[in-house]
A and B are shown apart, each in its own frame.
Chain A
Amino acid sequence: MAHSDLHRRLNRRALLVFVLALALLVTATGVVVGMLQGRFLRVESQTRFLTELGLLGELSVEPLLRSDYTTVERLIESWVQRRPEPLQVTAITPNGFVLASAQNRESVENSLAVDLPVTFDDTTLLTLQAVTDVSAREKAVTTIALNVALTAALLVTLLGWVMWGILQRIALRPLEIEITAREQKEHELRLRTAELETALRELETFSYSVSHDLRAPLRAIDGFSLVIEEDYAQALDAEGRNYLARMRAAAQRMGELIDDLLELARTSHRALQPVETDLGALAVESFKHLAQQEPQRQVGCVVADGLVAKVDVALMRIALDNLLGNAWKYSARNPDARIEFGARAENGETVYYVCDNGTGFDMRYADKLFKPFHRLHGSDFPGAGIGLALVQRIVQRHGGRIWAKSAPGMGACFHFTLGGAPAPAPPAASATAGLS
């Protein structure tokens, strides 16, 4: 909800800034337009005034030629009195005599002075000196400019307000509702994740504790079974010794299971220490170790060059040991066993793979591959069913993901990434077909 309020405030502020900027722009434009209009009005007004004054001069020519000065006086007086603006007109004869001087107002504040000679046949008969008041005109110009600017600003503000309303109705409100819903879901998801993490930690802690605590009595069982086997074997018949041996094997098997559980738990708890690592070298070490355990097997191992990644070396060694160990194990029945570890670029990320030509598995059960203690091949092959779960945990802790492609009798390919990028589409079958 806090995010919604923030969004709303930001939107409102952005719109306000936009409207203010627009209002300023339009106001400035209005002022400029008003000034231009004012200039036009001034020029137009001055031109009109000069034209009308010129007409007065033309009307004066005829009576002047008839020496009818009184008519000129009356013309000027009448013209001045009928003018709406404050005006003073003085008619001066060529010898400097003021023939007429008429004024329709007492004060002429903001004046415009014009001298207009009245001529006939290139002879100046009279000079009309007019002083007119342009303050009313200037006020009108200012008023026009102000009105234009204010109207523009008002219109823009009104427009902005209407736009804000429309925007809220058609865009922001649905967006806010969606954001609120998403935030609600995210919040719920975070809560659920936290709950899950807590539960997982508790479960891992519980597993670790149980596993750890189980080891002591198990060692006692195994130890005392060994004592019985070594010191009291003659007291038992063959069947008893068989039972005793099976009991010891079961105890050891349980010990291995506990070790695996502890490894899985440790893997989850341990802090990552990523460094640049040659994964190929790790794989080679792993292959050597496997070959030492079963020197009689002939397995074609292929490791690509340049498989360098920033990983936690210890964890990645465990992961590769498990993946390569699986491949080794499930290709045991193929006399021409072949295991390949490599990588390819796919959708901008590096996809590593471990492929073998072993027994493979049915993809219908692929979802059980990475679950602890789930085994697709039952007791046909040794193992506790914890290895791939461990590998998945390690890959996920590196921000990657793992998946597998296989078919029964066709070998298997395990693909994994080590980045945080979203999962790409599963690799094409043709990429692994040749290795299966």
Chain B
Amino acid sequence: MNRPWLSSLSACLAGVLCLASPAHADLVLGMHPFKPATRLVEAFTPLTQYLSARLGEPVRLHIARDYQEHIDATAIGRYDFAYMGPSLYVQLRSLHGARPLLARQQIGNSPVFRGKIFVRADSPVKRLDELAGKRFAFSDPRSTMGHLVPRHMLWQAGVRVEQFAAHKFVGDHLNIALGVLAGEFDAGAVKEDVYYQYEKRGLRALATSAPISDHLFVASHRMKPAQVQQLRALLLGMHQDAEGRAALHAITAGISALVPVEDSDYDSLRAVMQTLQELGVRI
């Protein structure tokens, strides 16, 4: 019987125990809380099982309490490898230097993804510049499509956060969509797969972001090169067997494969974040 809460709890406890112990036998996959923990456990458990079977040692999942903890844990090597959002990676790279890159996800045939700024379908707002004076929902200050990219889009449209009647960081992207639908917020920004998930329930997009290189797997700098190589090869070859494809689809339905990744793939995002920092946005 599936017990997501119990799995989540055990995963978190395992993670805490893992972090409390300096030496551990299991490989730990770190995760930032871009979705509810239960859904993350459901989404990534097939992957950890897949890797455990092929690496010959257990792979456990750890979900960070917030994005900052995720960056910190990845930076100091508490995770053996981490699944990261693009902005987190850019920040990790910027603050802590290069880390071995393993692979990035490819949805459909594209290794990039977009974000949406949206309102309720019955909203009178038609353009981004009409959002001034409205209530706006972001996910996390370090979220690529839940804050950084849309905030850059808003700036380009001439709307500053200070002009909102209110704005709030509500955690995962689903809460943004639901918060707008529930009437708590007038508008919000999410990555496009979340938007399409809720569009039929009454959302309307105002703008779509430029493509940003998608989520990626980053290895700890403590991981031995051979192990990095083995892990990278495993990830990049997952789409070639059914079990691998099933594990990929569990992460996000549209993932077709994990593909090679370069640091330069995130230059466009790096530019966005640079602009925002210059505007005084704390990232």
Residue of B nearest to A92 (CB): B182
11 sampled A-B residue pairs with Cβ under 8 A: A67-B179, A68-B170, A69-B178, A70-B36, A70-B178, A74-B38, A93-B182, A95-B183, A97-B182, A97-B183, A99-B181
Residue of B nearest to A69 (CB): B178
A residues within 8 A CB of B179? Answer: 67, 69
Confirm or deny: A278 has a beta carbon within 8 angstroms of a beta carbon on chain B.
Answer: no
Confirm or deny: A408 has a beta carbon within 8 angstroms of a beta carbon on chain B.
Answer: no
**Is A68 in contact with B182, judged by CB distance below 8 angstroms?**
no
CB distance from B91 to the nearest CB of A (A): 24
CB distance from B254 to the nearest CB of A (A): 20
Confirm or deny: A223 has a beta carbon within 8 angstroms of a beta carbon on chain B.
Answer: no
B residues within 8 A CB of A69? Answer: 174-175, 178-179, 182
Confirm or deny: A73 has a beta carbon within 8 angstroms of a beta carbon on chain B.
Answer: yes
Among B171, B172, B183, contact of A93 (Cβ-Cβ < 8 Å): B183
**Is B36 in contact with A74, judged by CB distance below 8 angstroms?**
yes
Q: A73-B178, A97-B202 are in contact. Are A67 and B36 (CB under 8 A)?
A: no
Residue of A nearest to B183 (CB): A95
Query: Once the chains are docked, how many angstroms separate the CA of A33 from the CA of B125?
Result: 64
Confirm or deny: B168 has a beta carbon within 8 angstroms of a beta carbon on chain A.
Answer: yes
Confirm or deny: A277 has a beta carbon within 8 angstroms of a beta carbon on chain B.
Answer: no
Query: Once the chains are docked, how many angstroms separate the CA of A66 from the CA of B172?
Result: 12
Q: A67-B184, A70-B36, A71-B36 are in contact. Are A99 and B170 (CB under 8 A)?
A: no
Confirm or deny: A424 has a beta carbon within 8 angstroms of a beta carbon on chain B.
Answer: no
Residue of B nearest to A94 (CB): B183
Query: Once the chains are docked, how many angstroms separate the CA of A152 from the CA of B41?
Result: 57
CB distance from A264 to the nearest CB of B (A): 116
Query: Once the chains are docked, how many angstroms separate the CA of A367 from the CA of B135?
Result: 134
Query: Once the chains are docked, how many angstroms separate the CA of A93 from the CA of B172?
Result: 19
Query: Once the chains are docked, how many angstroms separate the CA of A69 from the CA of B36?
Result: 10
CB distance from B208 to the nearest CB of A (A): 23
Query: Once the chains are docked, how many angstroms separate the CA of A68 from the CA of B202?
Result: 19
Confirm or deny: B137 has a beta carbon within 8 angstroms of a beta carbon on chain A.
Answer: yes
**Is B170 in contact with A67, judged by CB distance below 8 angstroms?**
yes
Query: Once the chains are docked, how many angstroms separate the CA of A95 from the CA of B202?
Result: 12
A residues within 8 A CB of B170? Answer: 66-68
**Is A67 in contact with B183, judged by CB distance below 8 angstroms?**
no
B residues within 8 A CB of A74? Answer: 36, 38
Most buried by A among B178, B182, B201: B182
Among A70, A78, A98, A99, contact of B172 (Cβ-Cβ < 8 Å): A70
A-B CB proximity, top 4 nearest: A95-B183, A69-B178, A93-B182, A67-B170
CB distance from B176 to the nearest CB of A (A): 8
Bits for A93-113, please: 1 = Cβ < 8 Å to B, else 0. 111011100000000000000
Interface hits, A47-87 → B, CB 8 Å:
66-71, 73-74, 78
Query: Once the chains are docked, how many angstroms separate the CA of A73 from the CA of B178?
Result: 10
Interface size on B, residues (CB 8 A): 19
**Is B202 in contact with A67, judged by CB distance below 8 angstroms?**
no
Query: Once the chains are docked, how many angstroms separate the CA of A94 from the CA of B178?
Result: 13
CB distance from A56 to the nearest CB of B (A): 15
Interface hits, A366-402 → B, CB 8 Å:
none
A residues within 8 A CB of B168? Answer: 67
Among B5, B175, B183, B185, contact of A70 (Cβ-Cβ < 8 Å): B175
Query: Once the chains are docked, how many angstroms separate the CA of A309 from the CA of B172?
Result: 123
Query: Once the chains are docked, how many angstroms separate the CA of A95 from the CA of B178?
Result: 12
CB distance from B146 to the nearest CB of A (A): 13
Residue of B nearest to A93 (CB): B182
B residues within 8 A CB of A95? Answer: 182-183
B residues within 8 A CB of A66? Answer: 170-171
Query: Once the chains are docked, how many angstroms separate the CA of A78 from the CA of B170?
Result: 22
Query: Once the chains are docked, how many angstroms separate the CA of A125 from the CA of B18?
Result: 39
Residue of A nearest to B122 (CB): A95
A residues within 8 A CB of B5? Answer: 78
Most buried by A among B170, B171, B175, B179: B175
A residues within 8 A CB of B185? Answer: 67
- Add 4 more A-B contacts to A93-B181, A94-B183, A97-B201 (CB < 8 A): A67-B184, A69-B179, A70-B36, A93-B184
A residues within 8 A CB of B202? Answer: 97
Query: Once the chains are docked, how many angstroms separate the CA of A74 from the CA of B35?
Result: 13
**Is B183 in contact with A68, judged by CB distance below 8 angstroms?**
no
Interface hits, B134-155 → A, CB 8 Å:
137
Residue of B nearest to A78 (CB): B5
**Is A68 in contact with B175, judged by CB distance below 8 angstroms?**
yes
CB distance from A183 to the nearest CB of B (A): 81
A residues within 8 A CB of B181? Answer: 93, 97, 99
Residue of A nearest to B202 (CB): A97
A residues within 8 A CB of B175? Answer: 67-70
CB distance from B171 to the nearest CB of A (A): 6
CB distance from A60 to the nearest CB of B (A): 12
CB distance from A93 to the nearest CB of B (A): 4
Query: Once the chains are docked, how many angstroms separate the CA of A71 from the CA of B179?
Result: 12
A residues within 8 A CB of B171? Answer: 66-68
Bits for B180-204, please: 1 = Cβ < 8 Å to A, else 0. 0111110000000000000001100
Query: Once the chains are docked, how many angstroms separate the CA of A71 from the CA of B170?
Result: 12
**Is A99 in contact with B182, judged by CB distance below 8 angstroms?**
yes
A residues within 8 A CB of B182? Answer: 69, 93-95, 97, 99
CB distance from B74 to the nearest CB of A (A): 25
Residue of B nearest to A95 (CB): B183
CB distance from B101 to the nearest CB of A (A): 30
CB distance from A96 to the nearest CB of B (A): 8
Residue of A nearest to B137 (CB): A67
Query: Once the chains are docked, how many angstroms separate the CA of A73 from the CA of B181?
Result: 13
Query: Once the chains are docked, how many angstroms separate the CA of A97 from the CA of B201?
Result: 9
B residues within 8 A CB of A98? Answer: 201
B residues within 8 A CB of A73? Answer: 178
CB distance from B161 to the nearest CB of A (A): 17
Most buried by B among A66, A67, A94, A97: A67
CB distance from B125 to the nearest CB of A (A): 15
CB distance from A33 to the nearest CB of B (A): 41
**Is A99 in contact with B178, judged by CB distance below 8 angstroms?**
yes
CB distance from B102 to the nearest CB of A (A): 29
Query: Once the chains are docked, how many angstroms separate the CA of A98 from the CA of B170?
Result: 19
Query: Once the chains are docked, how many angstroms separate the CA of A99 from the CA of B182?
Result: 7
CB distance from A120 to the nearest CB of B (A): 13
